[in-house]
Amino acid sequence: MTISFLERRLFAPLRMTDTGFSVPDDKSQRLATVHRHKGGSFGLVATAQDYWCFAQMMLNGGQLDGVRILSPHTVAFMTRDHLGDIQMPSSSEGHHSGMGFGLGFAVMKDPAAAGYISSEGSFGWAGAAATLFWVDPKEDMVVVAMTQHMGVPAVESLSSQIPALVYSALLREEAQLRLRMDGDTPGDSRRSRVCRIDGSNQVETQD
């Protein structure tokens, strides 16, 4: 029943064709290897492309390619902090300083207190296998990082290293290099500006 509802209301409209609670036999060879010491997780299986569709829909205020999933007011309500002065607990660090929580998303309240580069009002979440995604409305940006490590020492540091790499590549000059969607109307295009960062901190862009 759950997968039928999600398929009808979310996956099909957003063309998330590789998302589900299990992987069909004919797609099993595409399943990434999760490197882990022990433990496991239960949840949806998806590709980076499918997850991007969902995140881009949220950035667009609830729609993608002309298909509306949520109203802009619902998205705004979901992605604002609902905790107030309550600190969000963390099993590894005691508390997530500078972070709040909305309806399904962690919300950045204070990047300085959080200890890594971000924009106030960004929202997202991390997964069990060190996966990470966030949406930054101020930068018109979606980031999806599909790391596949579970229980590996020091892998949690990626949650701060990835934002540092991404935001260091954003230049506020006349060209305004951004990771953003291009198109005549928000949500009507799937062309993205790609930004690559190599070991020498050189930035290469490609449409």
For 204, what's the count of Cα atoms within 13 Å in the CB-facing half-sphere? 6
Residue 193 has pLDDT above 50, yes or no: no
9 — alpha (psi -120 to 50), left (phi > 0) or beta? alpha
Question: What is the CATH topology of the domain spanning 2-20+32-157?
Answer: Beta-lactamase (3.40.710)
pLDDT winner (highest mean) among 22-36, 73-87, 183-197: 73-87
Give the C-alpha distances (Å, rounded to integers) separating 185 from 2, 25, 62, 66, 189.
Answer: 33, 38, 14, 9, 8
pLDDT for the residue numbered 174: 36
- Decide: helix, strand or coil at residue 178: coil
Kindly list the domain boundaries of the chain, sorted by start residue.
2-20+32-157
- Residues 127-145: what's their mean pLDDT? 89
Q: Check residue 63 and report its DSSP letter.
A: E
Residue type, 145: A
Is the overall model pTM greater than 0.75, yes or no?
no
pLDDT in tens, 43-95: 777 888 998 999 999 999 999 999 999 999 999 999 999 998 887 666 454 34
Least Cα distance to 179 among 166, 164, 165 occurs for 166
**Do residues 157 and 110 touch, judged by C-beta distance below 8 A?**
no
pLDDT for the residue numbered 3: 62
Residue 11 has pLDDT above 50, yes or no: yes
Residue 170 has pLDDT above 70, yes or no: yes
**Between 120 and 179, residue with greater pLDDT:** 120
Helix, strand, coil shares of the chain, percent, nearest 5, are 25, 25, 50
